[in-house]
Chain A
Amino acid sequence: MPGIAYQKLEARQLLFWGPLALNAAVIAAGLGAAYVMEHSGHIVTGMNNQIVWGTPHVFAVFLIVAASGALNMASIASVFGRREYKPYARLSAILSIALLVGGLAVLVLDLGRPDRLVVAMTTYNFRSIFAWNIFLYVGFLVIVTAYLFVMMDRRASRSTALGKTVGGLAFVWRLVLTTGTGSIFGWLVARQAYSAAIMAPLFIAVSLLYGLAFTVIMLAITGWQSRQQLAGSEMLQKFRGLLIVFILAVFYFTLVHHLTKMYASEHYGIERFLLRDGGTYTAVFWIAQILIGSVVPLLLLVWPKSGTRHAAILIASVLVLIGGLAQMYVIIIAGQAYPLDLFPGMEVTSSFHDGRMAGYRASLPELLLGLGGVAIAMLICAIAVRLLPLLPRPAT
């Protein structure tokens, strides 16, 4: 496959080291926060016996689904044979590894007993979708690393068949991985907000969207650092089209999810809570997830005057990610805030917050831990693109 040239990141000192130092600082803060959480217990977080998964999980799940989506470029190039995406395949692979490592780090550091990671890696309950996910994540890292090697090694990359095989495997694996992540929630029969098969395709759609947004942003950052235009106008238009499709897909699954729930009187309560009466949760849903995360970027992208501009595509990507965090917040935290239905149709009260909407306020340590995960992903990317020829040559 001649003709595609790659490069390492050549950036001026400050442009490279500045962001790197910033990431390192955020990671240090995140690790410090994790230490405090481990030492004093989760009492220092906003999590409690009602909201058992909080901000760290919002970030972790966000990063993990984005990781699978970040592989988009590589998959389109190898599995669907679209050669114009090939120059971005390496970057997309390293980005997906980095995002997954960042997400997993947050997940592990939030455990009540992070010191027992060895137990988690050696003792499995094979009925647990969570345990399957541990395999899916580790497998994903191995496969994408192999994929990256196949793409980069002089001899291995000559074989199209090999590239297609490993690329195909990675493609299937990422779909299974996102299905698994969605099913962590989808298979929870106990809770009104979850227990829905549609969580799996919903998560696949969001992963495509977040992953692409991350790729666009990464290209913009490295382009800014190296003072080059890494994606030509033609390519950006393709990204724009994909962003529109993915935003609509996420919107579609969200809509169907809510409509299905709304139709059954059994779920009136949770729908009313999420969409109308939930206070902060409702505001986050409508303002952050729907308005900022879907409507505005969609308008930016389809409106002819702005849609073709690079800046608009970049801003839309940033908004999509903000909306993505909001969506994870609504799914994970609002979903738990709604009380369990112990006696359907009855009003239940107790000393243990039964029958009450649970409150949750993210504390600084958990916020730092979550941001630390993002910084880990960014740091891995930054170092990798500096050391290895992963970036495309500038468009001519």
Chain B
Amino acid sequence: MSCGSKCATGCAGGTGRGCAGAGRDRIDEERRSFMRGAAASVMSLGAGVTLYAFDADPAAAREPGEKVTAKNRWGLLIDVSKCADGCSKCVTACQDENGWRDTGHPETDAQWIRTLTVKNPNNGATFSLPMMCQHCANPPCVDVCPTGASFKRADGIVLVDKHTCIGCRYCMMACPYKARSFIHEPLQDQKPYAPRGKGTVESCTLCVHRVDSGRIPACVEACNDTAGGAMLFGDLNDPSSEIAKRVTALRTTRIRADLGTDPGVYYRNI
């Protein structure tokens, strides 16, 4: 957004890295002022709880023509205690945004995000949470993919390059989170910014098209606008970001962290 062009002017001509080095302070300065001004995206939830939908402008780090770098690592923090039973606002938002839908074939339909209900068999206690691609730092799906179609972008977003995916589904065998879907039928009328097609595998893209233009993922936006505000998106690598601060200060959980996948999605109050 606005900061993107300002930053770019601030160190015009510099490459991503050089720019970061030379203008580090300047960018931080910009970022802070951006946060102060981003009141519109700050919600007050009463009882003194304030939640930032998005704490830094992703475009601040980079202009559209610039490559993504490992300077950022995008992630989510999801406060499960704010997920109401039966709420599926994030799921619907993702469907609308990315064009996957229920076609009446539950076994074969794609699901990029779903709500899980978890019950303790000993005492019956339950909670719900949204589950999607965890954007692992050590993604098994990427390790096993024979063609390299599954890949991790420098900024931590795990994607499938559908131009090289041969549809072998080995990544689906390897993903510990059941995050991926195979397209079993020909599709029509895809969203222009979310290409998807028969014979390839897909999963949550963390709304990469939005992130690249400085917006937040559709699920996070919907949750903040119409539901409990359970989701926070941001740059885990930026110590001044809200998500990084919270992940450092609060007790969080990552699902199946024992597998060493180092997920980018953190949960709280599990």
Contacts and interface: CB of A to CB of B under 8 A. Distances in A.
Contacts, number: 165
A190 B145 contact: no
A1 interface: no
A49 B110 contact: yes
A79 to B, nearest CB: 31
Nearest to A121: B147
B117 A128 contact: no
Contacts of A50: 107
A125 B182 contact: no
Contacts of A354: 114, 116, 131, 178
Contacts of A153: none
A17 B115 CA distance: 59
B146 A124 contact: yes
B176 interface: yes
Nearest to B175: A190
A123 B150 CA distance: 12
A108 to B, nearest CB: 9
B166 A116 contact: yes
A197 interface: no
Interchain residue pairs A-B with the least CB separation, the first 3: A112-B167, A112-B199, A190-B176
Interface string B163-183: 011111110111111101111
A126 to B, nearest CB: 9
A122 B118 CA distance: 44
Contacts of B118: 343, 346-348
A131 interface: yes
A48 interface: yes
A264 interface: no
A237 to B, nearest CB: 42
Bin chain A's interface residue count: 35 or more
Contact of B168 (A43, A111, A190, A345): A111
A388 interface: no
Nearest to A120: B166
B140 interface: yes
Contacts of A336: 173
B266 to A, nearest CB: 15
Contact of A349 (B117, B145, B182): B117
A213 to B, nearest CB: 28
B46 interface: no
Contacts of B180: 49
A11 to B, nearest CB: 40
Query: For chain A, what secondary structure do more than half of its interface residues adopt (helix, strand, loop), or is it mixed?
Result: loop
A53 interface: yes
B62 to A, nearest CB: 26
A127 B167 CA distance: 18
Nearest to B148: A125
A96 B177 CA distance: 38
Interface in A351-365: 351-354, 359
A42 B109 CA distance: 11
15 contacts: A41-B199, A43-B185, A49-B110, A49-B178, A52-B182, A112-B169, A112-B200, A116-B166, A129-B144, A130-B170, A187-B144, A191-B173, A342-B255, A349-B116, A354-B114
B170 A119 contact: no
A265 interface: no
B166 A342 contact: no
- Residue from the set A42, A50, A124 with the largest chain B CB neighbour count within 10 Å: A42
Nearest to B107: A48
Contacts of A41: 183-186, 198-199
A184 B174 CA distance: 10
Interface in A31-80: 38, 40-43, 47-50, 52-53
A239 to B, nearest CB: 36
A130 B144 contact: yes
Interface in B115-163: 115-121, 131, 140, 142-148
A4 interface: no
Interface of A: 38, 40-43, 47-50, 52-53, 111-114, 116-117, 119-120, 123-125, 127-131, 134, 184, 187-191, 336, 340-343, 345-354, 359
Contacts of A128: 143-146, 170
B73 to A, nearest CB: 20
A130 B168 contact: yes
Contact of A112 (B110, B140, B176, B183): B183
Nearest to B172: A52
Contact of B147 (A42, A47, A114, A119): A119
B248 interface: no
A123 B184 contact: no
B178 A352 contact: yes
Which of A113, A114, A117, A191 has the most B CB atoms < 10 Å from its CB? Answer: A113
B146 A53 contact: no
Contacts of B173: 52-53, 188, 190-191, 336
Contacts of B145: 125, 128, 130
Contact of A353 (B107, B169, B200): B107
A336 B178 CA distance: 11
Nearest to A37: B199
Contacts of A341: 256
A47 B107 CA distance: 9
Contact of B184 (A48, A125, A134, A342): A48
Interface in B221-260: 255-256, 259
A112 B118 CA distance: 33
B201 interface: yes
A42 B108 CA distance: 9
B65 interface: no
Given A53-B169, A125-B148, A131-B146, 11 more contacts: A41-B199, A43-B184, A50-B107, A112-B165, A113-B167, A114-B166, A120-B146, A127-B142, A189-B259, A345-B121, A351-B115
B182 A49 contact: yes
Nearest to A134: B146
B140 A111 contact: no
B133 to A, nearest CB: 13
A266 to B, nearest CB: 11
